[in-house]
């Protein structure tokens, strides 16, 4: 008598590490956050194959779309250590919208890409709630995104996130730095802390070398090391955009990786340089701690970190006082930090 072969047990996608049901739950949990960001121009809801945005061309004579993309870098490692995920999305938005703002663009919509090792709906909902908060601060719609579950690519509880922003500016109002001349003033807007750059060095100094624990209260910082390092990147859109039609802003630089040293020359025309007076603003405590605990030399600090200045506006000297006053009236800590001089697209500190 022939033996009956046993039917093999079928393997599912979940057995391979991808849980479709968890993905559906995550989408359901993030819908409220996404909906809170929508603008009237958005024609689609969450779940479609693409996002539709009806640009109101009547507002612009020659509308030019401006795009930007970025990630959060190794700041994510701090979020993993602290198991706090509801602010990292603000950073993803900030890094993109602050960049396109420098061209004079109003952010219109944002998309995110989130890749996880194992999809936990609550964690994903937390991350997306931060993305939505960043979009609300920037006045743009969270129009779409992708959440990819990728087993064996990321460790337990780990993920990566990238963002993509699209904005608009009238062609004749593009700010590109071409009009900058010696004598113009530099207005610096305060950063909220480390923002989202230099974290490989910051983690090496604070967590590895100095040995601070992520939930350890730091006497100089006045809060835990994790709270300081996870402070979200400041979004400057709502306070800077209203200035663009009132003042002759000639250039803007978002101070990210490379600090003032590398970001300001990106907007300088040939024959110009900038002179910055480092005594015009108070350097936040986190940078003093990193410099001392490293130790990290001053030149390296300014080449890696924002050192307390997150955005710089280049304006005619005669308008600088009014620009600072208006920014302060809207809650910004703004300072006159230097001026444009003759030179070869360099940054000089005094």
pLDDT tens, position by position, 72-106:
999 999 999 999 999 999 999 999 999 999 999 99
pTM to 2 decimals?
0.93
Q: According to the model, what pLDDT value does residue 5 have?
A: 66
- Please report, rounded to a whole number, the percentage of residues in the chain having pLDDT higher than 70: 98
User: pLDDT exceeding 90 applies to what percent of the chain?
Assistant: 81
Q: In this predicted model, what pLDDT tens digit does every residue of 208-265 receive, in sequence order?
A: 999 999 999 999 999 999 999 999 999 999 999 999 999 999 999 999 999 999 999 9
CA 55 to chain centre: 24
- Cα separation values, 177 from 236, 249, 272, Å: 18, 9, 11
What's the pLDDT score for residue 4? 62
Q: What is the pLDDT of residue 16?
A: 72
| pLDDT value of position 50 | 86
pLDDT over 90 (residue 310): yes
Domains of the chain: 20-173 (3.30.1330.10), 185-349 (3.90.650.10)
pLDDT bin (cut points 50, 70, 90) of residue 27 is: confident
Average pLDDT rounded to a whole number, residues 192-208:
96
pLDDT value of position 10: 82
Give dist(CA 345, CA 278) in Å, integer. Answer: 18
The whole-number pLDDT of residue 1 equals 53
> What's the chain's average pLDDT?
93
């Amino acid at each position: 008598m022939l033996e009956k072969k046993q039917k093999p047990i079928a393997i599912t996608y979940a057995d391979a590490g991808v849980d479709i049901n968890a993905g559906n739950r995550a989408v359901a949990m993030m819908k409220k956050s996404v909906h809170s960001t929508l603008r009237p121009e958005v024609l689609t809801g969450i779940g479609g194959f693409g996002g539709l945005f009806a640009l109101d061309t009547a507002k612009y004579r020659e509308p030019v779309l401006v795009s930007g993309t970025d990630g959060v870098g190794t700041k994510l490692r701090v979020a993993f250590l602290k198991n706090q995920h509801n602010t990292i999305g603000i950073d993803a938005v900030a890094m993109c919208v602050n960049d396109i703002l420098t061209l004079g663009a109003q952010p219109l919509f944002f998309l995110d890409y989130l890749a996880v090792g194992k999809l936990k709906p609550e964690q994903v909902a937390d991350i997306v709630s931060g993305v939505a908060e960043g979009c609300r601060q920037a006045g743009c719609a969270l129009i779409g995104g992708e959440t990819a579950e990728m087993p064996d690519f990321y460790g337990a509880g780990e993920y990566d996130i990238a963002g993509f922003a699209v904005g608009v500016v009238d062609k004749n109002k593009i700010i590109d730095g071409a009009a900058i001349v010696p004598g113009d003033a530099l207005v610096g807007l305060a950063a909220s802390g480390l923002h989202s750059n230099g974290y490989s060095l910051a983690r090496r100094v604070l967590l590895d070398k100095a040995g601070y624990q992520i939930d350890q209260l730091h006497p100089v910082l006045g809060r835990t090391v994790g709270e300081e390092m996870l402070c979200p990147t400041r979004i400057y859109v709502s306070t800077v955009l209203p200035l663009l039609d009132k003042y002759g802003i000639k250039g803007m630089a978002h101070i990210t990786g490379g600090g003032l040293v590398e970001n300001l020359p990106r907007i300088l025309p040939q024959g110009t340089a900038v002179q910055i007076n480092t005594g015009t603003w108070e350097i936040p405590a986190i940078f003093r701690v990193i410099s001392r605990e490293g130790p990290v030399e001053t030149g390296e600090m300014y080449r890696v970190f924002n050192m307390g200045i997150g955005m710089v506006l280049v304006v005619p000297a005669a308008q600088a006082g009014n620009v600072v006053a208006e920014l302060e009236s809207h809650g910004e800590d703004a300072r006159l930090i230097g001026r444009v001089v003759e030179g070869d697209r360099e940054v000089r500190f005094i």
